[in-house]
Amino acid sequence: MENLWPYPRWIAHRGAGKLAPENTMSAFRLGAQYGYRMFECDAKLSSDGVLFLLHDATLQRTTNGHGTGGELSWSALSQLDAGAWHSRAYAGENLPTLEALARWCLANHFCLNVEIKPTPGTEAATGRAVAELLARLWPATAIAPLLTSFRPDALAAVQAAAPQFPRGLLIDTLQPGCLDLVQQLGCQALVCNHALWDAALVAQVHALGLRALSYTVNDEWAAQRLIDLGTDGIITDRVDLFSPAR
So which residues are the catalytic ones? 13, 55
Contacts of 47 (CB under 8 A, 6+ apart): 70, 71, 72, 73
Would you state the torsion angle of the CA atoms of residues 41, 175, 201, 226, taken in this order, to the nearest 10 degrees?
A: 40
Q: Left, alpha or beta for 44 (phi > 0: left; psi -120 to 50: alpha)?
A: beta
Instruction: Write the DSSP string, the chain.
Output: --S---S-SEEEETTTTTSS-TTSHHHHHHHHHTT--EEEEEEEE-TTS-EEE-SSSBSTTTSS--SBGGGS-HHHHTTS-SSTTT-GGGTTPPPPBHHHHHHHHHHHT-EEEEEE-PPTT-HHHHHHHHHHHHHHH--TTSPPPEEEES-HHHHHHHHHH-TTS-EEEEESS--TTHHHHHHHTT-SEEEEEGGG--HHHHHHHHHTT-EEEEE---SHHHHHHHHHHT-SEEEES-TTTS-TT-
